[in-house]
């Protein structure tokens, strides 16, 4: 219920901004789209109360740094017990989103061969360093049209694909 209302207000604000010919969104008011192909949810049998689940979703979506995310995960484990894997996946996705936003990656899609990363507004974070990184790793990184980058993950069948993606994003951030 609360999530729907927040989305409604955001859509209303965006429409008003468009009508007034203002900038559609503030630079900080965007969120990367992450499609990794696995379940992300708070299971009903883990947290039975719908209002509590919605409140937790809202709190998680407002987190903007990995330390705060880690703290929330610890607090939830203390409060509700061992965290189910689909719920842990949600935290992994949020952590990827936080880092992706910092390096201007607006979309990440998972495929059987690797990941396709799309950069925001055709802007790449530290372009010169990114070009050098791709040149040094031609077997795993490749530029694609429309400000996209393909990351061929050698461990694609491994459970660590999300960790590998996170490491790549952290390399972007460092360079």
The per-residue pLDDT string of the chain (175 residues; one tens digit each, 9 = 90 and over) reads: 455 666 766 777 777 766 665 444 445 678 899 988 777 889 999 999 999 999 999 898 888 888 999 999 999 999 999 999 888 888 888 999 999 998 899 999 988 888 999 998 766 667 888 889 999 999 999 999 988 999 997 766 556 778 889 999 998 888 6
- In the prediction, which pLDDT does 163 show? 86
Whole-prediction pTM value?
0.76
CA gap 161, 114 in Å, rounded = 9
Tokens of 88: 């842990």
């Amino acid at each position: 219920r609360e999530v729907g209302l927040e989305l409604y207000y955001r859509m209303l604000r965006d429409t008003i901004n468009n009508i007034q010919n203002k900038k559609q969104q503030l630079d900080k008011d965007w969120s990367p789209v992450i499609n990794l192909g696995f379940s992300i949810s708070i299971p009903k049998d883990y947290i039975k109360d719908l209002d509590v689940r919605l409140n937790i979703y809202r709190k998680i979506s407002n987190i903007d740094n990995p330390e705060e995310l880690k703290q929330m995960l610890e607090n939830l484990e203390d409060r509700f017990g061992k965290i189910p894997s689909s719920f842990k996946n949600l935290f992994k996705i949020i952590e990827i989103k936080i880092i992706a936003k910092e390096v201007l990656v607006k979309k990440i899609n998972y495929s059987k061969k690797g990941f396709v990363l799309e950069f925001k507004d055709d802007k790449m974070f530290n372009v010169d360093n990114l070009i050098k990184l791709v040149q040094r790793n031609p077997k795993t990184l490749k530029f694609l049209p429309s400000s996209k980058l393909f990351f061929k993950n050698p461990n694609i069948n491994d459970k660590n694909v999300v960790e590998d993606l996170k490491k790549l994003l952290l390399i972007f951030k460092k360079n």
